[in-house]
Structure formats: structure tokens, C-alpha cells
Amino acid sequence: MTKILLLCIYSQNELLQVVLNILNNAKDALKEFRLEDRKIFITIYQEENNAVISIKDNAGGIPEKLLPKIFDAYFTTKHQSQGTGLGLYMSYQIITNRFGGMIDVINEEYLYHGAKYKGANFKIIIPLG
């Protein structure tokens, strides 16, 4: 736990930039999905010697055929005034090059308080050294 805290303090700006990119995407997807009951779950935990930050929404997930492209530069499904397609590309560069970590996404179906949800789950995995 202390190591995760230290990681957050020492690398505040870049890590925050990545988290904000993912949160903004979740916000856009939730708006687009037009669901009343909007959720974003942020979980931080330690798995072996890695810090894991998971950010999961209930906006339906990312179409399977788009999954291999979303970390590419300039890949966007948004209107050009809404998105450049650089958010996840930059996030990927920061996590892999600056932190020696990994960032990945899966579509997840899950239960929360008895209700069934589906959405994208982005996981940032950072080795604690």
C-alpha cells in the first residue's frame, strides 16, 4: 500500500493525465449510451508486485472489432471536433515508456447491487520495483 501511495505522489502529473483520459472516455461513452443509471468504478489494488488501477464503466463496452485499434494514434470514433484519437495512444506511451507498465482493456459484464451491467474495464498495471 505504501509503495502504491509513493508511486502516485512521485508521478502525479503523468499518471493523473492517463487516469483523466480514461475517465473522460468513460464520460463520453456514458453520454452516448444514453443510460440514466451511469456508473464508473475506480479500484486500486496490489497484485503480486504490481500496482493495478482499474477503471470500469457501464456504457456497454467497446465493439470487439475496434479493440485492436483503440491504442493507435489518431484512432477515434468521435466527430473531429470531439476527439483527436490521441488520448489512449498517449496513455499507452506514458504507461509503457515512463512506468515500464502495461495498459489493457476488456469488455466486462458484471453485477452490482443485484443489477446487471456491461462496460469497458481499463487496467493500468505498474511494476512497484
Ligand X SMILES: Nc1ncnc2c1ncn2[C@@H]1O[C@H](COP(=O)(O)OP(=O)(O)OP(=O)(O)O)[C@@H](O)[C@H]1O
Applying CB under 6 A, which residues contact ligand X? 21, 25-26, 29, 57, 59, 62, 70, 75-78, 83-89, 120
What is the nearest approach in angstroms of ligand X to the Cβ of residue 43? Answer: 15
Could you give the CA distance from residue 67 to residue 65 in angstroms, rounded to a whole number?
6
What is the nearest approach in angstroms of Mg ion to the Cβ of residue 21? Answer: 5
Q: Which residues bind Mg ion (CB under 5 A)?
A: 25, 87
Class of residue 75 by CB neighbours under 10 A (exposed 0-12, middle 13-18, buried 19+): middle
Q: Which is nearer to ligand X, 120 or 126 (CB)?
A: 120
In the complex, residue closest to ligand X by CB: 87
Residue with cell 489518431: 74
Q: Which is nearer to ligand X, 84 or 93 (CB)?
A: 84
Those residues with Cβ within 8 angstroms of residue 83's Cβ, 6 or more apart along the chain or in another chain = 28, 76, 77
